[in-house]
Amino acid sequence: MNIYFDNAATTPMLPEVIEVIHKSMQTTFGNPSSVHSYGRKAKAAVETARKSIAKYFNVRASEIVFTAGGSEADNLILRNAVTHLGVQTIISSAIEHPAVLHYIESLEKEFGIRVQQVNISDDGGIDYKHLEELLTQNTDKTLVSLMHVNNETGKLLDLQKVSDLCQKYHALFHSDTVQGVAHFRIDLQKTPIDFITASAHKFHGPKGVGFACLKKGTLINPILIGGEQEHGARAGTENIHSIVGMEKAVQIAYNNLEKDTEYIQGLKSYFINEIKKMIPEIQFNASSDNPNTSSYIILNVRFPKEIALLLFNLDLQGVAVSGGSACQSGSDKGSHVLDAILNEEEALKTSVRFSFSKLNTKQEIDYVIGVLGEVV
């Protein structure tokens, strides 16, 4: 039996998405920059997708810039914040995705900007009080960059609270929402975040395509030079087939969001109950078992001890999951997120991220629990 519980890494494409992409490949092969009918048809497909996606976030179509994924979108926003918008200080955290964490480090080296890290609370989230303290101390142009859903632990950021703080202290707010888009509703009129990002393969769409959403009036200089595509924000012929596939994935996700959320949360709760029965000493990193503060998709568990080759043995049994420590991932660096939220003793214990989708079942959970009983 093969079980895929690594949906925070990537998700299987839905049949409806594949069908849309296949049709587009057959019928819409023109270059969107061409003036003839083939080009106009391709351009119309791109712009229709842009309008369709924009409505789910209550923004104008012109505020959506298509990219090759979330990492490019984060890089585009962060670089422009420094080089084009005059940002001199970036407030971020030690638990950000590497696309943000390492890019901010590179901006610090290249431009000499000031980088401040907000403290992490005892429950593995952001210390909002410390964030406000940092904001009160800054007099220069500031950008706050904090992710919506932590990709390792599932910890949720209170977008409204951070947005309110940024508005109060006149700071820009960027959130890597790659794990949140199409899993949570984000109304950018009610919660005025300046910049968000998305990657289609996180919500059953194709890989290699995503978008940045930029607050109206924010001018963007491209980091890819060579054409005027995406209204001058990104050079290169648009990835039409993937863009329309992403549009379809967004539509399906938001049209079924409440039903799918309830179902997946039910799976996660069932898994929590079953693994606690088997291993009473099990711990949940960053309170990932708390439905009020954690994504319904991600569960990060910490076993009572180090278990050598656990991921390898699970894979041999047909179970695909992600690890959170060096001995599990094959890396000598381990998880920077767990290092930031756990003490040295706890960080040495084996942690595993299980992440679910609407394609999973309780029968699969029963199988995985049984396998864990054998290998643990």
Q: Any idea which residues carry the catalytic annotation?
A: 327
CA dist., res. 4 & res. 94, Å (int):
29
Task: Give the Cα-Cα-Cα angle 212, 322, 203 (nearest 5 degrees).
Answer: 35
CA dist., res. 217 & res. 238, Å (int):
23
* H and E: helices and strands count for the chain: 13, 13
Among candidate residues 217, 183, 220, 178, the one with its CA nearest the CA of residue 200 = 178
Residue in the block written with tokens 């707010």 = 173
Among candidate residues 94, 82, 37, the one with its CA nearest the CA of residue 195 = 82
204 sits in the region (left: phi over 0; alpha: psi -120 to 50; else beta) called left
Residue in the block written with tokens 């999951």 = 321
